[in-house]
Amino acid sequence: MKVRVLVAMSGGVDSSVAAAILAQAGHDVEGATLKLWGGPSDSGCCSVADVEDARRVARQLGIDHHVFNFTDAFEAKVVTPYVADHAEGRTPNPCIECNRSIKFGLLLERALRLGFDALATGHHARVVVDHDSGAPRLRRGADSEKDQSYVLSMLTGRELGKVVLPVGDLTKAEVRARAGELRLGTAQKPDSQDVCFIHSTRGRRGFLAERMPLHGAELVEASSGEVVGTVAAGELVTVGQRRGLGVAVDGRRRYALTVDARARCITVGPSDQAVGTRVALDRAGWVGPALARGDRALAQTSAHGAAAACTWEADAVVFDEPQPLVAPGQTVALYDAADPDAVVGAAVATVAADPVVAAVVAPSTVR
């Protein structure tokens, strides 16, 4: 059945091929590139060059191309919360929030308002229809190395019913091969890797320093309460971090176990303390029916991490085996225990695993 589809074209090879697949299938296709960030960027995302790359591909494919300016919304919904999270000692996922609020929020709403039947992107994931319920479900992409179901795990059935992911059944090599066959200018374009508003020469520190004060913090040994070092900017430290702390006790490097930005206190401990079995969660969202307390699931805590077996406890997951600490602010994607490729929902970590660690050193011990 022929449908009218708006393709979010980032200027990269994946979205270029997504548009080509839909156009070749006979659908009524148009492309749209988003202007999100007006500041300096060299990440290969949201730049003028990306807009031009997308426009050239659209011209090659014979489809109309639009540019939508969402800079104000991006600032309000992605950048401002990103800064606020760091000020509170959290580690946010700006790309996931961009997907939630902008691409599958504002852009999807605009596409539907303009009369399109669906929104397509170049993400490596799959939307399938459940045979029993007839409802859409999100599954991992065919290329396990490029799977992006984690960054889409916050999508619910409401959005998935209007989303098309044409490259989800292809490997990255197959995507580039198709782009080469079509002589698309993006065929060999490198993937963007970084947060679009963080410039490589300024980094996260430089970006945040322009928007908020950064404060020094003491590094406090969790087991003894002893101050063992300091960092120049506690707001930049992530739970689970080892590099950059510059502290070792008894010849063993220390990891950040908790970050209290307000108290300017970071508790640290050896690697065997930088793991836990429980992660408290909030902001849970579901593709279909919510998990019930005691249900089994698989939880993935980073874009390229492995999913680990766990039990859902309504406001937390409890892992079967100790896992690296999860920084507050990070998304935890939940997969079906019986069908590991199927996303069932996602939530956001609120405290590091095993809250007993956070209580070892109270903020009042910091001088």
265 is catalytic: no
Strand order in the sheet with 118-120: 64-69, 28-35, 4-8, 118-120, 163-164
Rounded CA-CA distance 187/13 in Å is: 6
Q: How far apart are the first and last CA of the chain?
A: 68
Contacts of residue 350, defined as CB under 8 A and 6 or more positions apart, other chains included, come to: 280, 281, 282, 328
Active-site annotation holder among 45, 46, 95, 98: 98
103's torsion region: left (phi>0), alpha (psi -120 to 50) or beta? alpha
331-336/118-120 β-pairing: unpaired
**b (16+ CB within 10 A) / e for 148-182:** bbbbbbbbbbebbebbbbbbbebbbeebbebbeeb
Q: 139 and 125 in contact (C-beta within 8 Å)?
A: yes
Residue type, 62: G
Residue of 46, 95, 196, 310 marked catalytic: 196
Q: How far is CA 163 from the centre of its chain?
A: 18
Phi-psi region of 20 (alpha: psi -120 to 50; beta: other; left: phi over 0): alpha
Give the Cα separation of 112 and 210 in Å (integer): 37
Q: Is 95 a catalytic residue?
A: no
Give the Cα separation of 184 and 190 in Å (integer): 14
3-state class of 348 per DSSP?
A: strand
Catalytic residue numbers read 98, 196
